[in-house]
């Protein structure tokens, strides 16, 4: 199989899995959190079993597929040619990749274990410990916030490569915007939704 075709297929898988992962991240933070808070406590366990269980399966598996495909891409496009941080393109994509890896670890080691406990409690007809939801929510908000600079760097590697100073400045600004968006939706505008 020609190398260009392999690159295109891996990039396509990376995009599909990434859209699924980040789309579900945005659904969970912008829609699901407010919806669950507005429901009667007796209905929540049914919704957890019918919806959250499926969402979490797609969410966690699309996260590792996205990262694996991204690592294959960065290796094919940059690292195998010896460009780890010698070009601005490589610097930009490297930081985007590091943020993606951190977000994936957050999914698998904080969000999913706490959501799994909530799902298991709902299936057993028991009340979930509120600290599980709180921990998952804070980790999910962190991922939402990190997704803004991560996505900027992913697109920026090809279209707006940056040096270290610009990466830091843009990363901070994008993260602040991400934090303000999730905070506004979950706090300030919550009654409107």
- Residue 188: the pLDDT is 64
70 closest CA partner among 31, 103, 26, 115? 103
Q: Please give the Cα distance from 185 to 143 (Å, whole number).
A: 15
Total-model pTM: 0.91
Domain-wise residue ranges, the chain? 3-192
DSSP code at position 160? S
Residues in the chain: 193
- Residue ranges with strand state E in 41-94: none
Q: What is the pLDDT of residues 150-183, one digit of tens each?
A: 999 999 988 999 999 999 999 999 999 999 998 8
Q: Within a 10 A sphere around the Cβ of 31, how many other Cβ atoms?
A: 12
């Amino acid at each position: 199989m020609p190398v260009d075709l392999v690159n295109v297929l891996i990039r396509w898988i990376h995009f599909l899995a990434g859209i699924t992962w980040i789309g579900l991240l945005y659904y969970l933070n912008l829609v699901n959190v407010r919806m669950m808070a507005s429901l009667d406590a007796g209905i929540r366990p049914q919704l957890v079993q019918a919806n959250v269980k499926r969402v979490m399966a797609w969410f966690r598996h699309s996260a590792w597929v996205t990262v694996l495909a991204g690592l294959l891409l960065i290796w094919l496009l940059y690292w195998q040619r010896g460009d780890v941080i010698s070009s601005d393109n490589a610097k930009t994509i490297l930081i985007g990749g590091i943020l993606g890896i951190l977000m994936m670890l957050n999914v698998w080691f904080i969000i999913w274990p706490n959501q799994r406990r909530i799902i298991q409690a709902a299936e057993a007809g028991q009340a979930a410990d509120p600290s599980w939801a709180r921990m998952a929510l804070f980790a999910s908000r962190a991922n939402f916030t990190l997704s803004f600079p991560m996505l900027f760097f992913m697109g920026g590697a090809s279209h707006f490569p940056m040096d270290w100073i610009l990466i830091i400045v843009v990363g901070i600004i994008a993260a602040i915007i991400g934090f303000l968006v999730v905070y506004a939706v979950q706090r300030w505008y919550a009654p409107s939704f």
